[in-house]
Chains A and B, each alone.
Chain A
Amino acid sequence: MDKNTTLPVLGFEPGDQLPTGHYSGPVGLTPGRLGIWALIASEIVLFAGLFGSFILMRLINPGWAEEARHLNLYAGTLNSLVLLTSNFFMMKSSKSFVEDRAEDARKFMVFTMLAGFVFLGIKAYEYSGEFAHGEFPTSGGFWSFYFLMTGIHALHILGGLFAIFLLLSKTRHEPLVSLASRANITGIYWSFVEVVWIFLFPLLYLLA
């Protein structure tokens, strides 16, 4: 019962975060990786709900095809390319973490984030164009779905940018190798956000 003696034996101060225990997962599966896949699984269900609802409503309302033509297809296509490029940079950065090349890791992370911001910028440009044409979330079913789905996706982009920013600031104080797993996880999430766009883009822009 003498807790006061057992804890110092471990070399931990009382307030410290203790190591969480014996690792029992399959080889190569860190809690972080499992966690990010679980998070992605729950996100997939969320987007499945959104996409499913949209497809259902799209089938009921054939007239939405006409409204989809009002979307800026060029901006959308450009954005897909921007996001692909951004992913490429993130992969390069992830690789640099493993190979312990700090300069490259930081450089490519900055590129990734720049591309992310360009994506958001183009999105904002599209939105302003649509507002100028008098198309708001309240302008009918298609527009409600369009703004909701791209909006939620943009929130995910913001979340991803925030995660990359945190990682970037950590590289100043921690050795790259200890952050490699975290970089990998961030990369997985960033790819997921990209994949969502890959589904979103044809669904909204191309199904006209």
Chain B
Amino acid sequence: MSQDQQGHDEHGHEHQQSFISHYIFSTDHKMIGKQFLLLSAIMACFGGFMAYLIRWEVAFPNTPAPFFGLVTPDKFNAIITLHGTIMIFFVGMPFLSAFPSNFLVPLMIGARDMAFPKLNMASFWITFVGAVLLVSSIFVPGGPVAGGWVGYPPLSASSEFTGVKIGAVLWILALACALVSSSLGGMNYLVTAATLRAPGMTFNRIPMTVWFLLASAITFFFSAGPLIAGAFMMLMDNAFGTGFFLPAKGGEPMLWEHLFWFFGHPEVYVLFFPALGFGLDIMATFTRKPVFGYKLILWCTGSAVALSYIVWAHHMFMSGLNPLLATPFSITTILISVPFAIIIFCMFATLRNGAIRLELPFLWIIGFLATFLIGGLTGIFLGSASADIYLHGTYFVVAHFHYTLFPSVFFGGFGAVYYWFPKMYGKKLNEKLGFLHLALTFIFFNGTFWPLFKVGMGGMIRRIADPSFYPQYHQFQGLNAFATVSAICLIATQVIFLWNLVLSLNHGPQAEKNPYQSNTLEWIADSPPPHGNWGPVLPVVTSDPYEYSKPGEAKDWQPQATNLPV
């Protein structure tokens, strides 16, 4: 992308640095953040293309997909597996956790860099290796792994059931890379926020984005360990023929399900928390109001993190788990909705009595709220064990989790990109193209996944390569075709964003330091911030992050630090 050339113009003072130490093996937190962003964009192209192939096959089975050819059942199984793995671990995690944590955490707390810059660099390159392993698995003999992204054994644990051996090993290694990299990253963000805050940056003055990125890191940190252990076992099963998960060799497939979902459910919050954080910051800026219930939100976040570790079995109601366990896990599932409901209501209360500037980042966040709400509400269907007897494994589930993940990753993530873009590159994005991008994304996203609720209610099951084989699903052909056309349009819409990126980086107007009159520290730094962020003097924080519209003040904002010329 043009990011590289752009960097050259912007970072004139770093010309002495070699290209490699500046762009490739950089230890600068901002460059590493941008590397994660670029990586997630590239991987999103793979994931998006696979989404298109899946939708094509479901709507128009047994017809060759343009630009690919016929999606046969073996290819279909591999594509759904790769789509899930890529989108969660190599798009969602870098885009929503690693990129903003790297770019924003030091800037927002007033540090010059991460606590462990080299570890930070390592964490990017481990993810990169993982991404390369995963993509390369497409080309190895036997093809890529085809056991579903949840990797249920015995199917995923032995080549005797799928015929895939090398692909499966590469998949687990890629998964392990992603897990290790995110753990190392999370450790770095935590230590940075704990030890490197600018003078005066007390806990009560930390912006919401940082709090939620940390919550995300902690949630990940304590849920990934068991899955890393599970990945080791899966690796040995696949590569060396052990039988951890193979009943024929005395193993237990259910063990993997527990290890996987102990991680898998918190992972949803790992991706949801950052979006909430961006949302609160962006809302405060554009409503010109303090965030409603700052401390209440933090308490809720803490309890949500704690509760996220004891809800996993609601993914396993149909797995042969003791049915008596359904009740306790239903109750914890209900309890975890409490903190999230309060946070969402606090967001509503922040809007109330505001003076809302309907600018682009804000509208992305409203799009995030509006769509995520549907994801949250449909979760109630699936959290009910008795309703799950019917809905488990149908397209209803597909629609539900896309309504939770897509709003977080894309609406929340793009909100953040549009909001912080001037700070990242010193250029403004084109507003008109941005609005178009938002409007079309919103329409086509709903067009893609809303019909799937109806299809799922009709009992159509997921992960079948050939719905034409099922006469009872022929009635859904129209809905499925509609969803597929919407999905193709949704993917095509993202080209607008890429075009906007290229256009704005090359011809966009120069951005000011603080285009939105926002309070938080990153807006005090230059756009883009130089190496070391702050020049000779560190900012000294003198006020809370959201002191907007304070009565009796001349202007309706008050930067958190005042010792630097603004």
Q: How far is the CA of A140 from the CA of B251 in the complex (A)?
A: 9
Give the residues in chain B near A175, CB-CB below 8 Å: none
Give the residues in chain B near A61, CB-CB below 8 Å: 250
Contact B16 A49 (CB under 8 A): no
Is B440 an interface residue, CB under 8 A from the partner? Answer: no
18 additional contacts (CB under 8 A) given A6-B535, A17-B27, A42-B225: A7-B13, A7-B531, A21-B106, A22-B110, A22-B111, A22-B198, A24-B199, A31-B192, A34-B195, A38-B187, A38-B190, A43-B225, A45-B225, A48-B225, A53-B229, A141-B251, A144-B242, A148-B233
Contact B116 A24 (CB under 8 A): no
**From A24, A44, A138, residue with most partner B Cβ within 10 Å:** A24
Q: How far is the CB of A149 from chain B (nearest CB, A)?
A: 9
Q: How far is the CA of A57 from the CA of B112 in the complex (A)?
A: 49
Contact B191 A20 (CB under 8 A): no
Contact of B221 among A31, A41, A56 (CB under 8 A): A41
Size bin of chain A's contact surface: 35 or more
Give the residues in chain B near A14, CB-CB below 8 Å: 13-14, 16-17, 531
Give the secondary structure class of A's interface: helix
- B-contact 0/1 string along A25-48, CB 8 Å cutoff: 100011100110011011111111
Is B259 an interface residue, CB under 8 A from the partner? Answer: yes
Is A173 an interface residue, CB under 8 A from the partner? Answer: no
Size bin of chain B's contact surface: 35 or more
Q: How far is the CB of B30 from chain A (nearest CB, A)?
A: 12
Give the residues in chain A near B241, CB-CB below 8 Å: 138
Contact B191 A34 (CB under 8 A): yes
Give the residues in chain B near A165, CB-CB below 8 Å: none
Give the residues in chain B near A134, CB-CB below 8 Å: none
Contact A141 B250 (CB under 8 A): yes
Q: How far is the CB of A43 from chain B (nearest CB, A)?
A: 7
Q: How far is the CA of A28 from the CA of B93 in the complex (A)?
A: 33
A38-B221, A144-B243 given; A49·B230 CB < 8 A: yes
Is A60 an interface residue, CB under 8 A from the partner? Answer: yes
Closest to B189 in A: A38
Give the residues in chain B near A148, CB-CB below 8 Å: 232-233, 236, 242, 244
Contact of B196 among A24, A42, A45 (CB under 8 A): A24
Q: How far is the CB of A1 from chain B (nearest CB, A)?
A: 6
Contact B243 A141 (CB under 8 A): yes
- A-contact 0/1 string along B89-120, CB 8 Å cutoff: 00000000000000000100011111111000
Q: How far is the CA of A9 from the CA of B537 in the complex (A)?
A: 11
Is B338 an interface residue, CB under 8 A from the partner? Answer: no
Is B194 an interface residue, CB under 8 A from the partner? Answer: yes
- A-contact 0/1 string along B232-265, CB 8 Å cutoff: 1100100011111000011110010001001000
Closest to A145 in B: B244
Contact B224 A21 (CB under 8 A): no
A-B contact pairs, 20 of them (CB 8 A): A4-B12, A7-B13, A10-B536, A20-B111, A20-B112, A25-B194, A31-B196, A41-B221, A42-B187, A44-B225, A45-B224, A46-B229, A48-B225, A48-B226, A53-B233, A53-B244, A56-B252, A137-B236, A144-B244, A144-B251
Contact B229 A49 (CB under 8 A): yes
Closest to A144 in B: B242
Closest to B114 in A: A20
Q: How far is the CA of A50 from the CA of B116 in the complex (A)?
A: 28
A6-B536, A7-B13, A14-B14 given; A24·B197 CB < 8 A: yes
Is A172 an interface residue, CB under 8 A from the partner? Answer: no
Is A62 an interface residue, CB under 8 A from the partner? Answer: no
Give the residues in chain B near A133, CB-CB below 8 Å: none
Q: How far is the CA of A15 from the CA of B13 in the complex (A)?
A: 10
Is B379 an interface residue, CB under 8 A from the partner? Answer: no
Contact A38 B191 (CB under 8 A): yes
Give the residues in chain A near B27, CB-CB below 8 Å: 17
- A-contact 0/1 string along B4-31, CB 8 Å cutoff: 0000000011101100010000010000
Contact of A42 among B194, B221, B249, B535 (CB under 8 A): B221
Contact A49 B115 (CB under 8 A): no
Q: How far is the CB of B198 from chain A (nearest CB, A)?
A: 5
Give the residues in chain B near A124, CB-CB below 8 Å: none
Give the residues in chain B near A44, CB-CB below 8 Å: 225
Across the A-B interface, give the 3 residue pairs with the lowest CB-CB distance, nearest first. Answer: A45-B225, A49-B226, A49-B229
A7-B532, A41-B222, A42-B183 given; A23·B13 CB < 8 A: no
Contact B228 A49 (CB under 8 A): yes
Contact A3 B236 (CB under 8 A): no
Q: How far is the CB of A192 from chain B (nearest CB, A)?
A: 14
Contact B225 A19 (CB under 8 A): no
Closest to A30 in B: B195
Contact of B226 among A15, A46, A141 (CB under 8 A): A46
Give the residues in chain B near A1, CB-CB below 8 Å: 526
Is B173 an interface residue, CB under 8 A from the partner? Answer: no
Give the residues in chain A near B17, CB-CB below 8 Å: 14-15
Contact B229 A25 (CB under 8 A): no
